[in-house]
Chain A
Amino acid sequence: MTPTKKTAFLTPKEMIGFAILAALIFVVLPLALDTFRLNLFGKYLTYAFVAVGLVLCWGAGGILSLGQGVFFGLGGYCMAMFLKLEASTPENTAIQSTPGIPDFMDWNQITALPWWWEPFHSFGLTLIAIIAVPVVFAFIIAFAMFRRRVGGVYFAIITQAIAAILTILIIGQQGFTGGVNGITDLRTLHGWDIRTDEAKNILYFVNGILLFAVLFAAHYVRKSKLGRLLIAMRDQEDRVRFSGYDVASFKIFVFCLGAAFSAIGGAMFTLQVGFMSPTLVGIVPSIEMVIFCAVGGRLSIIGAVYGTLLVNFAKTTFSESFPEVWLLGLGALFIAVVMAFPRGLAGIWADWVEPRLSSLFSRKTGDDSTAAPKTPAE
């Protein structure tokens, strides 16, 4: 479990952070909310996968990606394709000119399933594709960019362009992708109806467990030598390069990891919401995901989860109470957070809560032997 000698995987402080989040997700929310609200929080938590990936890429590695929606979307589409094929049995689609293919294909005069849909008949291949497709895509982007030492703003702009391109591609190829409507009316997973309340509850917990797996993976990376190298690269890339490290490989790795996290979130989104559409791939959602991360505190993986929950909860609440002006309220929230708490929620925690907590552990707070600059604790 220990990535480097003498460093515990979790210090007591970090353990408290994880424990509080676990209590919130697995105990407080399920007890306090009805199925509908719980399912909403489940949806919010799928965005948290992306935000955690962004903490690694952006907060730790200094790679700002404005195109994480691409990977979220690819993961989600892979899942949606499997579910759609399962829902499009010849019996269910008897009304179509070509029964047995997804309804939107029939509307677009396509008479046979395209070859690249075939693998999605198999659940195993789908699970592989959910991770593999986005990661391979991320690898191609990252390899092309980082090997040429493209970084910073240029990288952000290119990722944004990729998000726009993929959206146009999906919308344009509506016979194969469902176009603007997306892939809708998903029903069952291996015969298990995902639309029932019971299924929603189970999916919420599956989602929570996967999120924790991702959080621990992110934490492991942060604690490892790789994590410290990432921070070093963010602060002084040239020095790391001159020290003999292959900077590009580390960047490619962390970008692919972020893409994999996003893809898991996307697949869970599809399962919980019941459809996937290009509105989740494009520029706006991609930027929104960066905002979740910024509000939570871009240096803190747990902060990112709270940021995602807070922003989305505010979005839902504001829009229910003030349907005509809620966007302004949300804008005000962002401005307030950025102006008053530039390090986000995690900054508030570090400045206000932690000093009081650490007095409890004042004798021995684990060893802070990490060489990295002091980052706000999770």
Chain B
Amino acid sequence: MTKSNGNSPKSTVSRRAVLAGGAALSASLFLPKNLRAQDYPTAAVNTTGLAVTDDTVTVGILHSVTGTMAISETGSVQAEKLAIEQINAQGGVLGRKIEFIQEDGASDWPTFAEKAKKLLVNDKVASVMGCWTSASRKAVLPVFEQYNGMLYYPTFYEGLEQSPNVIYTGQEATQQIIAGIDWVTKEKGAKSFYLLGSDYIWPRTSNKIARKHIEKLGLKVVGEEYYPLGHTQFNSVINKIKLKKPDVIYAIVVGGSNVAFYKQLKAAGIDMTKEKPVLLTISVTEDEIRGIGGENIEGAYACMKYFQSLENPNNADFVAAFKEMWGDDMVIGDVTQAAYLGPWLWKAAVEKAGSFDVDKVREASPDIELPTAPEGYVKVHPNHHLWSKTRVGKAMADGQYEVVFETADLVEPDPFPEGYQ
């Protein structure tokens, strides 16, 4: 595999020139830095025995492509592969082409731990893009901490965590919740809230933060309920909602339950296109609407940091590239975009550090900026989460969201929010 030093530079230079030219044409938006591998000798940029050669660097992709989570995680895999391809077209990272090893977590947490360990111990990958559910992240976390790996985790999640070995490219709970509740209070004059969700840590923690914030604003929570994952009978809670007449139904229902919930809501005569009640969710992205059906959720509001319909040049390029690679019928949800940021943030950190070493990448990560992010400018906080804007979108019958609100400034990530615990 290793080329002799005598003849390689010449051919490498010419190839890089071609690559760089191509990159400049195809992705004129991104400013290719054209770092050349020979300026960064492998022995210097890789002192810990990672899978880095003179012209390649290997990363891992660890998501479920089989099992119940496959539907959700496939978008993340696609986004990560797209990002890696684009980075390679620009000349790679420190002049090295990114190769990836993909492993299947199979929606099974012990398998996630096993595969994470395989990627770190056997394959010596320089970083891993992966995981989706909190359970899978919790399962791999001790592995990443023990073998000092670096995980780029894309999903919005409950917070209460800040590992030196993880960069959280999705929102922690407060980033998704507080601005949304402020918006619905101000714009819709909401006074009473009904909280409901699937029964696990993320909806419970999110609703806890929502409740504290609602009570801080002097407003009322009139009900709070949880249903097991996969639950499909929401009639009783819908009846209670009709009885209590809340201004806002705050729904954090997850996965397949969503389909039943929104259909039953509509069948029960709760019309979300009317002024009240307002349905505000933090768990339904464009991906989920494909399963729910746009006509069943039309008029609901979602609080995210990214919507496919977002209008800016970065996003236009991203959506076009994504569809070109994966097909025109693809939709892009919040997490898919966050997954796309992973490889780019890692590249930026590696180049700032001038090294693939995990410790140096970690040191370099805080304050990394990504002006080319589809969601707009993002920045890594020293607590390993991202500064992002919060946005509210209104669901349309065609399955897309219309962006109706965005925060003026980036929202600071706060995984351990004071006063909300």
- A pairs with B: yes
| A243 sits at the interface (CB 8 A) | no
Given contact pairs A273-B110, A273-B113, A320 touches B138 in the complex (Cβ within 8 A): no
Given contact pairs A182-B135, A275-B139, A277-B110, A323 touches B65 in the complex (Cβ within 8 A): yes
Contact assessment for A179 and B208 in the assembled complex, using a CB-CB cutoff below 8 Å: no
**A291 to B305 Cα, complex, angstroms:** 45
Interface size on A, residues (CB 8 A): 38
Given contact pairs A40-B114, A180-B200, A275 touches B142 in the complex (Cβ within 8 A): yes
| A367 sits at the interface (CB 8 A) | no
Q: Tell me which of A180, A319, A326 has the highest count of chain B C-beta atoms within 10 A of its own C-beta.
A: A180
| B309 sits at the interface (CB 8 A) | no
| A181 sits at the interface (CB 8 A) | yes
| B108 sits at the interface (CB 8 A) | yes
The residue of chain B having its C-beta at the shortest distance from the C-beta of A179 within the complex is B200
Contact assessment for B142 and A319 in the assembled complex, using a CB-CB cutoff below 8 Å: no
| A274 sits at the interface (CB 8 A) | yes
B-side contacts of A35, CB under 8 Å: 121
8 Å CB contact of B117 from A36, A171, A186, A320: A36
Interface size on B, residues (CB 8 A): 38
| B168 sits at the interface (CB 8 A) | no
Contact assessment for A171 and B200 in the assembled complex, using a CB-CB cutoff below 8 Å: yes
Chain A, interface SS category: helix
Contact assessment for B135 and A181 in the assembled complex, using a CB-CB cutoff below 8 Å: yes
Question: Interface readout for B363-385 with A: 1 if CB under 8 Å, 0 if not?
Answer: 00000000000000000000000
**Which residues of chain B from 130 to 145 have any CB-CB distance to chain A below 8 Å in the complex?**
133-135, 138-139, 141-143
| B53 sits at the interface (CB 8 A) | no
The smallest beta-carbon distance between B384 and chain A, in angstroms, is: 15
Contact assessment for B200 and A174 in the assembled complex, using a CB-CB cutoff below 8 Å: yes
**A319 to B229 Cα, complex, angstroms:** 26
**Which residues of chain A from 296 to 332 have any CB-CB distance to chain B below 8 Å in the complex?**
316, 319-320, 323-324, 326-327
The smallest beta-carbon distance between A46 and chain B, in angstroms, is: 11
| B160 sits at the interface (CB 8 A) | yes
B-side contacts of A195, CB under 8 Å: 142, 146
Interface-forming stretch among A104-112, A140-148, A151-159, A226-234?
A104-112
| A88 sits at the interface (CB 8 A) | no
The 10 closest A-B pairs by CB, nearest first: A323-B104, A184-B138, A181-B135, A36-B121, A181-B138, A180-B200, A180-B135, A323-B102, A277-B109, A319-B104
Contact assessment for B199 and A172 in the assembled complex, using a CB-CB cutoff below 8 Å: yes
The smallest beta-carbon distance between A37 and chain B, in angstroms, is: 8
| A224 sits at the interface (CB 8 A) | no
Interfacial residues, chain A to chain B (CB-CB below 8 A):
34-36, 39-40, 43, 95, 97, 104, 107-109, 168, 171-172, 174, 179-182, 184-187, 195, 273-275, 277, 279-280, 316, 319-320, 323-324, 326-327
The residue of chain B having its C-beta at the shortest distance from the C-beta of A269 within the complex is B110
B-side contacts of A168, CB under 8 Å: 228
B-side contacts of A39, CB under 8 Å: 117
A-side contacts of B138, CB under 8 Å: 181-182, 184-185, 275
8 Å CB contact of B199 from A171, A181, A184: A171
The residue of chain B having its C-beta at the shortest distance from the C-beta of A186 within the complex is B142
Cross-chain pairs A/B with CB under 8 angstroms, 27 sampled: A35-B121, A36-B117, A36-B118, A36-B122, A40-B114, A43-B110, A104-B201, A107-B201, A168-B228, A172-B199, A179-B200, A180-B200, A181-B135, A181-B201, A184-B139, A185-B138, A185-B142, A186-B142, A273-B113, A273-B114, A274-B142, A279-B109, A280-B110, A319-B111, A320-B118, A323-B103, A326-B104
The smallest beta-carbon distance between B77 and chain A, in angstroms, is: 9
| B237 sits at the interface (CB 8 A) | no
**Which residues of chain B from 90 to 137 have any CB-CB distance to chain A below 8 Å in the complex?**
102-104, 106, 108-111, 113-115, 117-118, 121-122, 133-135
Chain B, interface SS category: helix
| B283 sits at the interface (CB 8 A) | no
| B233 sits at the interface (CB 8 A) | no
A-side contacts of B142, CB under 8 Å: 184-187, 195, 274-275
B-side contacts of A171, CB under 8 Å: 199-200, 228-229
18 extra A-B contacts, CB within 8 A, seeds A172-B199, A182-B135, A319-B104: A35-B121, A36-B122, A43-B114, A104-B201, A108-B201, A171-B229, A174-B201, A180-B134, A180-B200, A184-B139, A184-B142, A185-B142, A273-B110, A274-B143, A279-B109, A323-B103, A324-B66, A324-B104
| B416 sits at the interface (CB 8 A) | yes
The residue of chain B having its C-beta at the shortest distance from the C-beta of A324 within the complex is B65
**A316 to B117 Cα, complex, angstroms:** 13
**A174 to B108 Cα, complex, angstroms:** 18
**A331 to B116 Cα, complex, angstroms:** 24
B-side contacts of A316, CB under 8 Å: 114
Contact assessment for A182 and B204 in the assembled complex, using a CB-CB cutoff below 8 Å: no
8 Å CB contact of A174 from B102, B114, B143, B199: B199
**A34 to B141 Cα, complex, angstroms:** 22
Question: Interface readout for B65-81 with A: 1 if CB under 8 Å, 0 if not?
Answer: 11000000000000000
| B421 sits at the interface (CB 8 A) | yes
8 Å CB contact of A279 from B103, B108, B122, B158: B108
**A319 to B105 Cα, complex, angstroms:** 9
Given contact pairs A172-B199, A181-B134, A319-B104, A107 touches B205 in the complex (Cβ within 8 A): yes
Given contact pairs A107-B205, A174-B201, A179-B201, A277 touches B114 in the complex (Cβ within 8 A): no
**A185 to B146 Cα, complex, angstroms:** 11
The smallest beta-carbon distance between B134 and chain A, in angstroms, is: 6
Contact assessment for A97 and B113 in the assembled complex, using a CB-CB cutoff below 8 Å: no
The residue of chain B having its C-beta at the shortest distance from the C-beta of A87 within the complex is B142
8 Å CB contact of B110 from A172, A181, A279, A320: A279
8 Å CB contact of A277 from B102, B139, B208: B139
